[in-house]
Amino acid sequence: MVLGGVYDPAAGEMEQAAILDRRRGPPALMDRPRPGRPPKVTCALEQHLNRLVDQDPLQHGSIHSPWSCRELAAVLAHQTGVQLGRESVRGVLKKRK
């Protein structure tokens, strides 16, 4: 759709949303479940990992003072029983900044 001489591909989607809203009301615009596997890192697990990062790794048996993603994953698996890869741990830490 062209709005003010500029092509806006989202404008068509907005019109469709407005039509659905009028026909079926606000429930038509609610998010539906997404296909695929649910995320392994839940909010509770993310919070646990963030608390763990603030602790001293030497208290958890590490021989190095800074945490590594691999060590965090190992301690998290020992404490919670959830196996995460180092890249999953890295993704949580990246959001923490």
pLDDT digits (tens, 9 = 90+) for 47-63: 999 999 999 999 988 88
- Reduced to 3 states (helix: H, G, I; strand: E, B; else coil), residue 7 is strand
pLDDT, residue 40, reads 85
pLDDT value at position 18?
67
Cα separation of 70 and 62, whole Å?
Answer: 11
Check residue 4 and give its pLDDT.
Answer: 52
Do residues 73 and 56 make contact, with C-beta atoms less than 8 angstroms apart? no
Q: What is the pLDDT of residue 13?
A: 72
pTM score? 0.62
**Which value, in Å, is the radius of gyration of the alpha carbons in the chain?**
22
Q: Tokens standing for 94?
A: 């990246």
Given this model, what pLDDT does residue 2 score?
47
10-residue averages of pLDDT along the chain (97 residues): 52 68 64 82 93 93 90 94 94 87
The full 3-state SS of 69-82, as one line of letters, equals HHHHHHHHHHHHCC
The mean pLDDT value of the chain amounts to: 81
